[in-house]
Amino acid sequence: MTSNPCQVKISIAQLDYHIGNFESNIRKIREAIHQARDESADLILFAELAVSGYPPRDFLEFDDFIHECELGIHSIAQDCTGIAAIVGSPSLNPNPKGKKLFNTAWFLAGGKVMAMTHKSLLPNYDVFDEYRYFEPNKDFKVIDYKGIKIAITICEDLWNMTDTPLYTASPMEMLIRQHPDLLINIAASPFHYDQMNIRRDVLSRNASTYGLPVFYVNHIGAQTELIFDGGSMVVDRRGKVVDELNYFQEDLRFYRYDKDKKDVQLSDRGIMGPQNLDTSRIALIYDALVLGIRTYFRKLGFRDAILGLSGGIDSAVTLVLAAEALGNEHVHAILLPSRYSTGHSVRDAVELAENLGVPCQTISIEEIFRSCESTLLTAFEDRPPDVTEENIQARIRAVVLMALANKFGYILLNTSNKSEAAVGYGTLYGDMCGGLAVLGDVYKTQVYELASYINRLKEIIPVNTIQKPPSAELRSGQLDSDLLPDYDLLDRILFQYIELRQGPQEIINMGFDETIVRKVLRMVNTNEYKRHQTPPILRISPKAFGMGRRMPIVARYLS
C-alpha cells in the first residue's frame, strides 16, 4: 500500500462481463483485486452493474437474481483486505415506497461492505430502461477513504453536463458542497460512432467545472445488440485527459493521486500496454462490429457462423467481419445460385472466400425453385410471375442455410443493411432471417466505406463486388435502383428521419425532392412489422433499429 498519507494508488479494471454469469463475473473481479493488491494499489474500480452484467433488464424482477448479486458482493468483499474496491451491483431498497431496487456502487474494504452509493439520474431513453427498475437516489454523501474524500457517481449522474441537459438537478451539485478531493464514475456506456468524443467532453466538463480529477471506468465487450468499447479514462482537474484505457479490449491500469498537489499521474502502463487505435469513424465501426460478433458467439457458447455469400457487397463485408471475429476456419460461406445469378457474382464470391481462406460450398437452389413453381402452379391460378416468385427464392435460400445451421450447430449471420431494413427491401423469413444482424445498423453507403477500409492495404473484397450496381438477382436484369432512390440520396433522407427525427416538411425544406421524401418515409413506416421480426442488430449508431427505436406497427403517421 502507498506509504505517503497524502497519496493513494488507484487501479481501474476495465472488464468484459456476462449478464447473469455470476461465476465468471465474480472470478474476473476477484482476480483483478488480487492483481491490484499485488501492485500495492489502495483502491480498485469496477464498472456499473459489474456483478450482474449490463443491462440485466427483466432479470432484475427475479428475487433469485438479486439474491445472487448480493451473494456475489459479499463474496467479493471478503477479498478486499489491504485494498478497497468500488463495484457496481443492484441493491434492495429498504423503503417500502418506490421501486424495490437501487443501482448501486458498493464500497468494499476491510473484508466487508463499508458504504453504498446509489445512482441518482436514471436514463429512460433510447436503449436505456433504468427507471423501469430502479429508485433514484436522494441522499448524497462523499466517502472518506485514507483521508481523501471521494465523490462517487454512476454513469448518467455526470451526463447532465451537456448543452441540452435532460435533468433539472445534478448529483455533483449536492456532492461538491461536501468538498470532495476526487470524483469517481463507474459506468456502462454503450458504443456508437460518436460516443468516444461525447464521453471525453462530458468527463472533461465535469472535471473543469468542479475542479476535481475524474476516474471513469466503463465496460467492454457486447451484450447482444449493445457494444461496449471501454475507453475508461482519468481526467485531471483542469479537464485534460491524463490517460485512456484501451478500446475494445480488457485492461487494467494504475494511477497515483496526490491530495496535496491535487494531481493524478499514470503509475504503470497496465496489462495490455498502449494501443495504436485508428479513431476514424469507419475504423471504429469496423472494430465495434468485430467485437460484437466475437462476444455474441462466445457468450452464447457457439464457435461457427454460416452465411449466404452472393457476390454482393453486403455479404462480402459481413464475411470479412465474421472471419476477423471468429477465425476464417469458423465461418462457412454458402453460395446459393439460381437461374438469375450472374456468372461474375459467383466468381466474385468464390474469389473472396479464397482470399480469406474461408470454407466455401455451392448449393444450387434451381431444382427446389422449379419444384415450388410446379407445386404452386395450379394454386396460383395462372397469374403472372411477380414479387412472389422473388420471395420464394429468398426463402429457399433461408431454408437451406438454416438447415445447415441446425445440422452443424452454426449461427446464421444476417447480411441485410440499415438502408434495406429501413424501407423494407428484404424478404421476411428469407434474406431477413438469421441469429444476428451484423450490418442492420450500417447504411448502404457505410457498407461501401467498410469495404474500402477492408481493402486499404490490399484487395480482399474483389473490386467488381464494390463497383457493380447492387442487385438482389431475383429476376432477370434486376437492380436495387428499380425500386429505390440512389443509395447516397436514400441514406441522407433516412439519416434525417431516423437519427435526427426530422419530419417530412423539414427534410423537404433542406432541398430534397418532395415526392421522393414522402415515398421514402412511407416505406419506412409501413415496414415496421418486418423490423419487429428481424434478428438482433449490432448497434453502432446513436439511433439503431431494435431496442432503442420503438415504433407502433399499426400507426397511420406518414403511412
Using DSSP's 3-state secondary structure scheme, residue 104 falls into: strand
Would 547 be classed as within a structural domain? Answer: no
pLDDT value at 271 more than 80: no
Amino acid type, 456: R
- Rounded distance, CA 215 to CA 233, Å? 6
Q: At what angle do helices 366-376 and 387-408 cross, to 10 degrees?
A: 130
Q: What is the pLDDT of residue 219?
A: 98
pLDDT in tens, 148-198: 999 999 999 999 988 888 898 899 999 999 999 999 999 999 999 999 999
Which one from 9, 48, 351, 444 is the annotated catalytic residue?
Answer: 48
Percentage of the chain exceeding pLDDT 90: 87
Do 311 and 451 sit in the same domain of this protein?
yes
Percentage of the chain exceeding pLDDT 70: 97
Would 278 be classed as within a structural domain? Answer: no
Q: What is the pLDDT of residue 274?
A: 61
Other beta carbons less than 10 A from residue 206's beta carbon: 24
> How far is the first Cα of the chain from the last one, in angstroms, to the nearest whole number?
65
- Rounded distance, CA 423 to CA 420, Å? 6
| pLDDT classification of 3: cutoffs 50, 70, 90 | low
Cell (9 digits) for 413: 449471420
Cell (9 digits) for 430: 428469407
Do 46 and 165 sit in the same domain of this protein?
yes
Q: What is the pLDDT of residue 216?
A: 98
Averaged pLDDT, 217-240:
97
Nearest to 443 by CA among 389, 519, 495: 495
- Rounded distance, CA 377 to CA 384, Å? 10
φ, ψ for residue 234, nearest 5 deg: -125, 130
DSSP annotation string for 258-327:
ETTTTEEEEEE--SS-------SHHHHHHHHHHHHHHHHHHHHT---EEEE--SSHHHHHHHHHHHHHH-
Would 455 be classed as within a structural domain? Answer: yes
> Per DSSP, what are the bridge partners of residue 264?
257
pLDDT value at 398 more than 60: yes
pLDDT in tens, 274-314: 667 889 999 999 999 999 999 999 999 999 999 999 989 99
Would 502 be classed as within a structural domain? Answer: yes
Task: Give the end of a domain, one of 232, 251, 268.
Answer: 268
Do 75 and 187 sit in the same domain of this protein?
yes
**Is 6 among the catalytic positions?**
no
The residue ranking higher by pLDDT, 122 or 556, is: 122
Report whether 372 contacts 396 (CB < 8 A).
yes
Task: Give the end of a domain, one of 234, 251, 268.
Answer: 268
Report whether 525 contacts 551 (CB < 8 A).
yes
DSSP 8-state class, residue 435 = S
Do 182 and 243 sit in the same domain of this protein?
yes
Do 77 and 173 sit in the same domain of this protein?
yes
Q: pTM of this prediction?
A: 0.95
Q: What is the pLDDT of residue 261?
A: 83
Would 544 be classed as within a structural domain? Answer: no
Q: What is the pLDDT of residue 400?
A: 98
Check which CATH number belongs to the domain holding 525 and give it.
Answer: 3.40.50.620
Which of 314-318, 335-339, 378-382, 467-471 is predicted least confidently? 467-471
| pLDDT classification of 209: cutoffs 50, 70, 90 | very high
Check which CATH number belongs to the domain holding 136 and give it.
Answer: 3.60.110.10
Would 119 be classed as within a structural domain? Answer: yes
Is the backbone peptide bond immediately before 55 cis, with ω within 30 degrees of 0? yes
Do 315 and 247 sit in the same domain of this protein?
no
Tell me which H or E stretch contains 151: strand 148-154
Do 386 and 506 sit in the same domain of this protein?
yes
Report whether 289 contacts 321 (CB < 8 A).
yes
pLDDT in tens, 35-49: 999 999 999 999 999
Do 238 and 300 sit in the same domain of this protein?
no
Q: What is the pLDDT of residue 138?
A: 94
As a whole number of Å, the CA-based R_g of the chain is 26
- Rounded distance, CA 122 to CA 528, Å? 28
b/e 162-177 (16+ beta carbons within 10 angstroms → b): eeeeeeeebbbebbbe
| pLDDT classification of 269: cutoffs 50, 70, 90 | low
Q: What is the pLDDT of residue 2?
A: 52
Report whether 521 contacts 504 (CB < 8 A).
yes
Residue whose C-alpha cell reads 459479499 in the numeric block: 74
CA dihedral of residues 132, 133, 138, 140 (deg, nearest 10): -130
pLDDT value at 517 more than 80: yes
Residue whose C-alpha cell reads 445498423 in the numeric block: 441
Averaged pLDDT, 396-400:
97
Which one from 9, 28, 119, 418 is the annotated catalytic residue?
Answer: 119
Taking the CA of residue 554 as centre, how many other CA atoms within 13 Å lie in the half-sphere pointing to its CB? Answer: 0
φ, ψ for residue 391, nearest 5 deg: -65, -35
- Rounded distance, CA 292 to CA 67, Å? 29
Report whether 117 contacts 87 (CB < 8 A).
no
Strand arrangement, sheet containing 112-118? 112-118, 101-109, 84-92, 43-45, 7-14, 251-258, 263-268
**Cα distances (Å, whole numbers) of residue 165 to 124, 156, 169, 449:** 14, 11, 9, 34
Q: State the average pLDDT for the chain.
A: 94
Number of domains in the chain: 2
Q: What is the pLDDT of residue 162?
A: 80
Q: What is the pLDDT of residue 445?
A: 97
**Is 119 among the catalytic positions?**
yes
> Per DSSP, what are the bridge partners of residue 184?
152, 215
Cell (9 digits) for 446: 457505410
Do 249 and 297 sit in the same domain of this protein?
no
- Rounded distance, CA 261 to CA 493, Å? 53
Q: What is the pLDDT of residue 477?
A: 78
Do 235 and 366 sit in the same domain of this protein?
no
Which of 160-164, 379-383, 470-474, 524-528 is predicted least confidently? 470-474
Q: What is the pLDDT of residue 276?
A: 79
Do 442 and 521 sit in the same domain of this protein?
yes
Q: Which residues contact 429 (CB under 8 A, 6 or more apart)?
A: 395, 398
Averaged pLDDT, 23-32:
98
pLDDT in tens, 70-84: 999 999 999 999 999
Which one from 155, 156, 324, 420 is the annotated catalytic residue?
Answer: 155
Note the Cα 9 to chain centre separation in Å.
32
CA dihedral of residues 224, 228, 229, 230 (deg, nearest 10): -140
- Rounded distance, CA 156 to CA 455, Å? 39
Cell (9 digits) for 484: 429505390
Averaged pLDDT, 486-505:
97
Residue whose C-alpha cell reads 473481479 in the numeric block: 29
- Rounded distance, CA 319 to CA 405, Å? 16
Would 559 be classed as within a structural domain? Answer: no
pLDDT value at 8 more than 80: yes
Would 58 be classed as within a structural domain? Answer: yes
Q: What is the pLDDT of residue 5?
A: 65
- Rounded distance, CA 6 to CA 261, Å? 9
Which of 17-31, 43-57, 259-273 is predicted least confidently? 259-273
Do 308 and 264 sit in the same domain of this protein?
no
For residue 96, what are the domain limits?
7-268
| pLDDT classification of 343: cutoffs 50, 70, 90 | low
Q: What is the pLDDT of residue 124?
A: 94
